[in-house]
Chains A and B, each alone.
Chain A
């Protein structure tokens, strides 16, 4: 039997993501995707959200990224109660959050540099700013020499790096990664998580949903384990399958 624990004292730390008694179901009569979840992620933390498929990992990230409103409970991101955030201000909060997906979601007709620059163009950045920040961000993920390549000319790992660069080019304080290593081999997965770790060390709060046992065991970060929508473990520097006594 697994037991939920609260490993960290949060009193004096800045909360970036807070879920208070959050429950979610997508339609009336459907099973609960999340049940009475309480969670705090503080600034600069790296947190794995683990669990089998259908345990609620992606649903939790969707709530944080305002893709979904909870059926019950409150979600707070960077101090904003998402339930009370006016619709017209939602986009401003999304600028504080970078997102990476398992399937990369790159624009196939644009080069690596154009994919990364697209974010800044959409947000109205000036040309000189784009010229400066795109190479910087590509260097951050080790793709400084591949800016002119098209996505289909890259390996899966490289494509995921482009996706990370795109998520980070606007320097958001929070990065959500939904199974970012799901399509990658173990070595490449480790490289990707190492990049996320580096980004985290630079001050970005990272929440990564995964069911990659090796990665979780290798990096020894905070682990929040979900089972049938409930948090069943919250452990600092945990492994994938550890059971922690209360």
Chain B
């Protein structure tokens, strides 16, 4: 079979089965989109984890004049001696404590005002209510408990917080999103396989006369099956292209554009997936879809087309 004739057969087949082709395109697009979302969410978790774990710190909040209901703050606000004692204790915890810095009440209030600049409660919070703190970096962030044991209930210390707990909630959310998207993708891939198989069966039925003639005149099994497979490949490629386009739009305008701008003001603690991550997974998405389409089509042809 010559290439020109083969392409004509494929184009003819696509035109005659337009509705089935559209359904394969759409199912492929949706399944690959969810697969892509799942993979990107996983990429987001792994890239952000390293980035954020380096940045997050343990915060030791010192007493304010309002912290009277905490036992260690019975005397009201933290005294200079208590503050210096905490610093001295932190010095004593090296090398676990790699560095720490002091955030004064003025600096803390300024950051608070920046973070909540759009909130109506801003004016109702007095400056004194915002605690001064020590921000502590650990050589091993998992040893947070050592710091907590050392400073919780220490005089002048209101509370000890591990910021990783906050970040971990985000990672858990991303993990669930990733697993959910992948599960949906698996279900959609099963749909795609079944749909391709059904499409082949219907196409084989509508073209049974051509197939019978090809067999009769001595066309090889490969050349009889090839147009069917190529039609499936074309539909799958269009679906994959649309899925990649949709993922690109989501990453470009949804994440790189909207989300990163939204989070940019939040202390810069952000590292989001971008188009580069998408291009890294694109060959696997498209290649996997093509492989699946070819194998499914070939198996369906073995079953439904007599050669």
- Tier of interface size on chain B: 10 to 19
B219 at the interface (CB under 8 A from A): yes
For A91, the chain B residues whose CB sits under 8 A away are 215, 218-221
Do the beta carbons of B218 and A124 come within 8 Å of each other? no
A32 at the interface (CB under 8 A from B): no
For A170, the chain B residues whose CB sits under 8 A away are 217-218
For A93, the chain B residues whose CB sits under 8 A away are 218
- CB-CB contacts below 8 Å: A95-144 with B: 95-99, 105, 107, 118-119, 121-126
Of B76-84, B86-94, B137-145, B206-214, the one touching chain A: B206-214
The smallest beta-carbon distance between A162 and chain B, in angstroms, is 12
Chain B, residue nearest A115 (CB): B213
The smallest beta-carbon distance between A159 and chain B, in angstroms, is 14
A245 at the interface (CB under 8 A from B): no
CA distance A99 to B221 in the complex (A): 19
Do the beta carbons of B209 and A105 come within 8 Å of each other? yes
Do the beta carbons of B217 and A124 come within 8 Å of each other? no
B2 at the interface (CB under 8 A from A): yes
- CB-CB contacts below 8 Å: A28-65 with B: 65
Size of chain A's interface in residues, with CB distance under 8 A?
23
A94 at the interface (CB under 8 A from B): yes
The smallest beta-carbon distance between A71 and chain B, in angstroms, is 20
CA distance A166 to B210 in the complex (A): 13
Do the beta carbons of B213 and A123 come within 8 Å of each other? no
B262 at the interface (CB under 8 A from A): no
The smallest beta-carbon distance between B148 and chain A, in angstroms, is 73
Do the beta carbons of B1 and A105 come within 8 Å of each other? no
A202 at the interface (CB under 8 A from B): no
B216 at the interface (CB under 8 A from A): yes
Chain A, residue nearest B2 (CB): A124
Q: Pick the residue among B209, B217, B221 that contacts A122 (CB under 8 A).
A: B217
A27 at the interface (CB under 8 A from B): no
| Majority DSSP secondary structure for residues of A touching B | mixed
Do the beta carbons of A119 and B213 come within 8 Å of each other? yes
A1 at the interface (CB under 8 A from B): no
For B218, the chain A residues whose CB sits under 8 A away are 91-97, 123, 170
CA distance A105 to B209 in the complex (A): 7
CA distance A65 to B217 in the complex (A): 10
For A125, the chain B residues whose CB sits under 8 A away are 2
Chain B, residue nearest A125 (CB): B2
For B219, the chain A residues whose CB sits under 8 A away are 91, 122-123
For B223, the chain A residues whose CB sits under 8 A away are 122
CA distance A126 to B4 in the complex (A): 11
B116 at the interface (CB under 8 A from A): no
Do the beta carbons of B216 and A94 come within 8 Å of each other? yes
For B213, the chain A residues whose CB sits under 8 A away are 105, 107, 118-119, 122, 166
CA distance A124 to B220 in the complex (A): 11
The smallest beta-carbon distance between B69 and chain A, in angstroms, is 87
Q: Pick the residue among B1, B210, B216, B221 that contacts A107 (CB under 8 A).
A: B210
The smallest beta-carbon distance between B216 and chain A, in angstroms, is 5
Scan A170-209; emit 1 where CB is below 8 A from any B CB, else 0. Answer: 1000000000000000000000000000000000000000
Scan B1-29; emit 1 where CB is below 8 A from any A CB, else 0. Answer: 11001000000000000000000000000
Do the beta carbons of A124 and B1 come within 8 Å of each other? yes
For A94, the chain B residues whose CB sits under 8 A away are 215-218
Residues of B participating in the A interface, judged by any CB pair closer than 8 Å: 1-2, 5, 209-210, 212-221, 223
Please name 6 pairs of A and B residues whose Cβ atoms are closer than 8 Å in the assembled complex, sorted by A. A91-B215, A92-B218, A107-B213, A121-B2, A122-B5, A124-B2
Counting from the closest, the 9 A-B pairs by CB-CB distance are A95-B218, A94-B218, A121-B5, A119-B217, A91-B218, A91-B220, A122-B219, A122-B214, A124-B1
